[in-house]
Amino acid sequence: MQSTDQQFQFERFSVQKLSYFVVDMNQAIHFLSRHKHSILYGVSLAGLLFVLKWLELKYLIFNNGIEIYIGSIALLFTALGIWLAIRLMKPKIKTVLVEKEVYISNTPFIRNEKELTRLGISKRELDVLQLMAKGLSNGEIAEQLYVSLNTVKTHSSNLFVKLDAKRRTQAIEKAKQLGIVA
């Protein structure tokens, strides 16, 4: 199920096969640059010069004229430049959100700490939220926690904002959905 989703995801972006390839290219660059890949360039240049020298000795170069010779060099190194640039170019990053289904087992309740921290819900707010989920009124919660009614109201108000809820019933519903309360 999970893998299928990802599969679809990828297939949807199959038009961008090239970009995946590009990612790979970037990867390769990293490897090269890390491992003295400039040597490659130097070696190729040196090698070319060596070949040229050999050709010069053979009196083959100037038979066709200096222009053609220079032109070849130019073409070759242009290609080299393009090749290098392709390798060295940094890719733009595109972020795709994929929804992953997480099935919650109902018997043992395990608090979802991730969601808690993500939503920025504090300890005290969680206390209020738990009692709220039990069906207690703000006054009863205040009694339970030994704080004033106003304090509970402040906490609950903050909770509604953090849980993006309009009412306490909605807040409880969301909290249960997210595994914040039992």
Give least dist CB 124 to a copy of itself, A: 19
Choose among a copy of itself, DNA, none what residue 125 binds, the Cβ cut-off being 5 to 8 Å by kind.
DNA
Alpha-carbon span 107 to 123, nearest angstrom? 24
> Exposed, middle or buried, 159 (CB in 10 Å: 0-12/13-18/19+)?
buried
Name the binder of 36 from a copy of itself, DNA, none, CB < 5-8 A by kind: none
Rounded Cα–Cα distance for residues 86 and 21 (Å): 11
Q: Which does 66 bind (CB under 5 to 8 A by kind): a copy of itself, DNA, none?
A: a copy of itself
Q: Is 145 in the site for a copy of itself (CB under 8 A)?
A: no
**Binding of residue 58 to a copy of itself (CB under 8 A):** no
In angstroms, the Cα distances linking 7 to 2, 14, 141 are 9, 10, 48
Interface contacts to DNA, rule CB under 7 A? 120, 122-125, 137-139, 145, 147-151, 153-157, 160, 166-169
Nearer CB in complex with DNA: 94/123 = 123
What are phi and psi for residue 92, nearest 5 degrees? Answer: -75, 145
